[in-house]
Structure 1
Amino acid sequence: MLEPLLSPWVLLGLFVLLAYTTEAMTGFGSIVIALSLGALVLPLDTLMPVLVPLNLLLSGYLSLRYRRLVHWRLLLRGILPLMAAGTLAGYLARPWLGQTLLQTLFGVLIAVFSVRELWRLRHGPAPARPHGAGWGRVWMLLAGVTHGLYASGGPLLVYALSGVTLDKSRFRATLIMVWFTLNGLLTLGYAAQGALQPVWPQLAALAPVVLAGIVLGEILHHRVDEHRFRQVLFSVLLLAGLALVF
C-alpha cells in the first residue's frame, strides 16, 4: 500500500513543494532545497534536467516582473561573464567527476552552507567585508562552477558580492536575472544532450506542484515565524548534506 506513496518521484514532488513554498516565503533556495533532498532518493544526473527547467517558471516570472530593478551594469559587466564561464566549466566537468564524487562534493557544499546559515541565524550576520576586485572575480568564477555542477551557485555568489552597495530590492532582482539566464543556458544544454525528452512527463507533473508551492508560500509568508522556519529548514538540510557525504 505504501510503495506508490514512497516512490522516488512522489517524494521528489513533496520536496519540490517544500522548496518552492520556501522560495515564495523567504526568497531563496528552491533548487538547493529540492536538489539536496531529492539527491537522497534519485541520482543527480536524473534530477538536474528536471529541477533546472522547473526553476525557469519562477525565475522567468520574477525576472519579467522586476526587470526595472536589475542593476544591468553589474549583471552584464561583472557577474554574468564570470558566472557563465564557470557554469560552462562545471557543466563540462560533470561527466568526468562521476556520480559518487559529485554527490559527496554536493553534500559537503550543502553541509557547509547549512552550518553557516544556522550560525547566522543564531548569532546574527557578520558585517559585510569587500573581497577586493581580484578575489571577488575568483569567487564569482567558483560560484559559476558550482552552478554548472549543481545549479546551486547562490551561496558562493552572495559571498562574492559581499560589500556590494545595492539596496535589497535591486540586489534580489539582479540575482534573479542571473539564475534565469544561467538556468536557461543549462536547460538548452540538457535539450542538446537529449536529457529533457525522457523527463517530459515528470516536468509536466511537477509544474503544477511548483505553482502550488508559490501560492502556498505567499499564503504562509505572514503566518509563519520565518526565523524559526529557517532554523528547522537548515537543520534538515544539514542532515541531508551529511547523509549525502556518508
Structure 2
Amino acid sequence: MTDLMTLPWLLLALFIFFAFTTEAMTGFGSIVIAISLGALFLPIPEILPVLVPLNIVMSATLSWRHRQHIHWSTLWRLILPLMVLGTLTGYGLRPWMGDQLLKNGFGLLVVWFSSRELWRMWKGIEMAPHGAWWSRCWMFVAGITHGLFASGGPLLVYALSGLSLEKKAFRATLILVWLSLNSLLTVVFLIDGTLLPAAPRIGLLVPVVIAAILLGEWLHHRVNEERFRQAVFIVLWCTGLILAWPG
C-alpha cells in the first residue's frame, strides 16, 4: 500500500520496532509505547487494528516459551472473566468518544502510569497489596481501558499487586492475558470491518516485530534493565502529556 511509505506510517514502523524491542527485553509496554508515540501522528482508531494483531505475534511466541510458568487457576477464575467483560464494555464505548477524546484519555492514562512508575523507582517503593474486591474492580476497569486503547496493562498490574504470584508466573500469566484479549479484539475488528483494510500493513510490519523480538532477547542480558525502564517511562510521561493536552 502506498500510504505505508508516507511519513506517519514509516514513523509508526520505527515506534513499533522500539516498543516491541522494549517488551521483549523488559516484559512490558509494546502497545502502550507504540500507541503513545504513534498517536502523535495518526488517529488511535486507525492504529489499533494494526497493532493488536501484531502483538499476537509476540505474545504467542512468549506464551509458548514460558508456558510452564502460567498460573492457570488465576487466569481462568479471576483475570479473564473480568477482563473480557471490561474489554467488550470498553469497545462498546469507543463510538461515543471522538478521536480527540480518545487521544486525551489515553494521554492521561499514560501520564498516570509513567508518573507512578517513576515515583516508585525513585523512592524504591514496593506496590502495596489490595483487597480482593478492590482488585476485581480494577481488573474490570483495566478491561475497559483495553477495549478502548488495547492498553489494559497499567491498570491490570495495579489490580494484581495484591496477589502473591511468583515473578515468572506473574509475567507468563500476563502475557497469556494479552494473547487472549488481543485475539478477541482481532476477531471484533474482523467483524466491524477494520481488520481487512489493515491486513497489508500488518503483513509488512510482521518482519519489524520479529526483528524487535530478536533484538530484545539479545539486549535482555546486556543492558541495565532498570535504567532502560526509567528512560522509557520518561519518554512515555512526556508523550502522555502531549496527548493529554487539550487540542
TM-score after normalising by structure 1: 0.95
Q: Distance in 1 between matches of 2:71 and 2:224?
A: 31
The question of whether the paired residues in 1 share the 8 Å contact of 2:50 and 2:198 is answered with: yes
How far residue 111 of structure 1 moved from its aligned partner, in angstroms, is 0.7
Paired position in structure 1 for 2:10: 10
Instruction: Provide the residue aligned with 1:81 in structure 2.
Output: 81
- Give the percent of matched residue pairs that are identical in Structure 1 and Structure 2: 59
Q: Which moved more, 1:163-172 or 1:181-190?
A: 163-172
User: What is the CA distance between 1:163 and its match in structure 2?
Assistant: 2.4
The residue that corresponds to 2:208 in the other structure is 209
Q: In the aligned structure 2, how far is the partner of 1:176 from the partner of 1:231? A: 22
Q: Which residue of 2 aligns with 1:99?
A: 99
Asked if residue 191 in structure 1 is aligned to residue 202 in structure 2, the reply is no
**SS of the residue aligned with 2:162?**
coil
Equivalent position amino acid for 1:227 in 2: E
1:149-201 Cα distance to aligned partner (Å, 9 max, x none): 01111111111111211111111111111110000000000011111111112
* Structure 2: distance between partners of 1:225 and 1:129: 25
CA distance, structure 2, for counterparts of residue 231 and residue 192 of structure 1: 39
Are the aligned partners of 2:25 and 2:216 in contact in 1 as well (CA < 8 Å)?
yes
What are the within-5 Å matches in structure 2 for residues 125-136 of structure 1?
A: 125-126=125-126, 128-136=127-135
List runs of 5+ in structure 2 lacking aligned partners.
none
Shift of 1:129: 2.8
1:150 aligns with: 149
Deviations 1:39-65 (A, max 9, x none): 001000100000000000011112222
CA deviation vs aligned residue, 1:90-144 (integer Å, no higher than 9, x gap): 0010011111111101000001111111112211132x43321211110010000
SS at match of 1:161: helix
Take 1:123 and 1:110, find their aligned partners in 2: how far apart are those partners? 20
Name 1:25's counterpart in structure 2. Answer: 25
RMSD of aligned alpha carbons:
1.4
Does structure 2 conserve the Cα–Cα contact (< 8 Å) formed by 1:75 and 1:174? yes
Unaligned runs of 5+ in 1: none
Aligned to 1:164: 163
Structure 1 residues 195 and 242, CA gap change in structure 2 (3 angstroms): same
Matches within 5 A, 1:56-75: 56-75=56-75
The Cα shift of 1:219 comes to: 1.8
3-state SS of 1:42 partner: coil
Cα distance in 2 for partners of 1:241, 1:155 equals: 13
TM superposition shift of 1:5: 7.8
What SS does structure 2 have at the residue aligned with 1:162? helix
* Letter matched to residue 60 of structure 1: A
Q: Is the 1:5–1:11 Cα contact (8 Å) retained in structure 2? A: no
